[in-house]
Structure 1
Amino acid sequence: MPAPSKKTSKKTSKKTSKKTSKKTSKKIRPLVAGNWKMNGKKADLRDVRRLSGGLAKAKYACEVAVCVPATLTSRVSDLKLGSRVMIGGQDCHPAEKGAHTGDISADMLKDAGAKWVILGHSERRAEVKLGGHGETSKLVRDKALAARASGLKTIICVGELLKERKSGDTLKVVGAQLRQSLPDGCTAANTVIAYEPVWAIGSGLTPSAAQVGTVHAYIRKALVRRFGDAGAGMRILYGGSVKPSNAAEIMAVQDVNGALVGGASLKAQDFLGIIKAYAL
């Protein structure tokens, strides 16, 4: 999808902000979640402590979570951070248990202290030949059901490749992923959506505020259309090269209810710099 024209962004904002922003944005408590990916050892727990300490020094109008590797889940839980920093996993298997070497179930994450789990991240949806796992939206849906059954809240990721944006298929791709990845019964209490333009992740590239707003408005309309009032209250995060220098601008976009942060969440100082976009 090429960069939207001024007409497109204005039309989108007029249609969506009047119908959704007044009902949702003021009531939705944002979430800023850090995705450590395949990073972090025992010594890096010091940054989680620093993050918690930094959050204690001021008030923020958002919730904060860190989604760490499975090897650190119980260690972060042992820090006893309470609700100040919630713990999440980065994936789970759809089965409760069984002969699935190397996998981890939602029950295991929950038992280790996790409250959240990221599902359908682009790095898992990517083709195997590109270093991914070739996950389909149906598999993401099955994982979401397993997570819900175990009492985990899910952050379900959707987003387009660069070639899909260039061909103008962004909304088509995102819409299909939403329909196929989200199980019935999604609510604001159990599901968060993260829009991550794949071409922006780890690249240093960030779509314009107008581009982000167009996609988030589309996602909001799709959620309301399918889930009604529950969809109106669900959080939609932006993920894709979020950093302290652009966080405030991105968080100010209509229907952006927080962020899914990658590399910038590894260091407490950088992560706090992003969270400060929600300082009271």
Structure 2
Amino acid sequence: MRKTLIAGNWKMNKTPSEAKELINALLPLVKDSSNDIIVAPNFVSLPIVASLTQDSNIKVAAQNMADIEAGAVTGETSVLMLKDIGVSAVILGHSERRQIFQETNKLINKKISLALQHDLLAIYCVGETLEERESGKFLSIIEAQIKEGLDSISADALKNVVIAYEPVWAIGTGKVATGEQAEEVHAYIRGVLGSMYSPAIAEKVIIQYGGSVNPENVKELMGKPNIDGALVGGASLKPDSFAALVNYNK
């Protein structure tokens, strides 16, 4: 049975001192949760967050990483650096990386492969823009993201991949896909994975929903059969609201 994973993507928010305050407030609120928990601070806050959560039930993810291990690449962060400070997961392919920094499925595939080689959990983001949804082509867009992003990823390595479906039109907008809209895409993604690997393997993959998830809509979304968790943005920046999401099933 798939376990629910609630992850918080802090994006470019929280100084290290603010991150310390947030984590110290969050830890007692979620210590008894039955769900898996990940927080993804910005790079400069990663060391303090990794240190504070070391003996807790919260795991730490980076929001991105380079597609090579080391070298003359100014401004990038290596998987080796992330591993050294205690990071155990990485978010890859987020729509903001795709749109602002023009990351392609091919580049993201390289990053996923490298993360998996180093035993990091890869949270792979896919999703459509409003224009793509309204054109009726959104499922084919997502299928291409899945197939190209996971190209040459073995069935064994897929055990360390989480898919995060984030409709771009719902990220930070307050708009949320209905439970039915989200479930349709999650089921489709699982079907694509089934065709690439096998239905049995696809059934084991955690597929999160992301896009304006909050304590008011989380139960409806998590109640759908193919939605296995949430990748949370703004609501993860406050201990109380993120704890409410983590503890939604209490």
In the superposition, the TM-score normalised over structure 1's length comes to 0.85
**Unmatched 5+ residue regions in structure 1?**
1-26, 127-131
Q: Which residue does 2:36 correspond to in 1?
A: 63
SS in 2 for 1:124: helix
Whichever residue aligns with residue 154 of structure 2, its letter is: G
Write the letter of the residue equivalent to 1:119: L
Instruction: Provide the residue aligned with 1:172 in structure 2.
Output: 140
* Pick aligned residue for 1:268 from 232, 239, 243: 239
Q: Is the alpha carbon distance of 1:162 and 1:80 closer, same or farther for their aligned partners in structure 2, counting shifts above 3 Å?
A: closer
In 1, the alpha carbon distance for the partners of 2:83 and 2:69 equals: 12
Comparing 115-124 with 71-80, greater Cα deviation is found at: 71-80
Alignment partners' CA distance in 2, 1:33 and 1:46: 18
Aligned-residue identity in percent: 39
In the alignment, structure 1 residue 142 sits paired with structure 2 residue 113: no
**Deviation for aligned residue 1:80:** 4.1
Report SS of the residue matched to 1:233.
Answer: coil
Contact 1:96/1:106, CA 8 A, preserved across alignment:
yes
Equivalent residue letter for 1:259:
A
**Equivalent residues, number:** 246
Q: Which amino acid aligns with 1:185?
A: S
Counterparts of 1:171-190 in structure 2 under 5 Å?
171-183=139-151, 184-186=153-155, 187=157, 189-190=159-160
Q: Secondary structure at the match of 1:100?
A: coil
Partner of 2:188: 218
Measure the CA separation in 2 of the matches of 1:248 and 1:178. Answer: 26
Alpha-carbon distance between aligned partners in 1 of 2:126 and 2:53, rounded to the nearest angstrom = 32
Spell out, residue by residue over 1:215-263, the C-alpha distance to the aligned partner (whole angstroms, 9 max, x if none).
0000011112212232220100000000111111111112000000001
Residues 111-149 of structure 1 deviation map (CA, whole Å, 9 limit, x = unaligned): 1210000000000001xxxxx000000000000011111
1:202 pairs with 2:177: no
CA distance in 1, matches of 2:202, 2:187: 12
CA contact (8 A) 1:241 1:262 kept: yes
1:268 CA displacement: 0.7
Please, what is the CA RMSD of the aligned residues? 1.2
TM-score (norm 2): 0.95
Q: Distance in 2 between matches of 1:251 and 1:48?
A: 24
* Consecutive unaligned residues in structure 2, runs of 5 or more: none
Instruction: Pick the aligned partner of 1:252 from 217, 223, 226.
Output: 223
2:56 matched to 1:54? no
Structure with larger Rg: 1
Aligned amino acid, residue 34 of structure 1: G
Q: For residue 12 of structure 1, what is the aligned residue in structure 2?
A: none
* Contact 2:27/2:56, CA 8 A, preserved across alignment: no
CA contact (8 A) 2:30 2:247 kept: no
Distance 2:56 2:196 in 1: 31
Q: Give the 3-state SS of the residue equivalent to 1:278 in structure 2.
A: coil
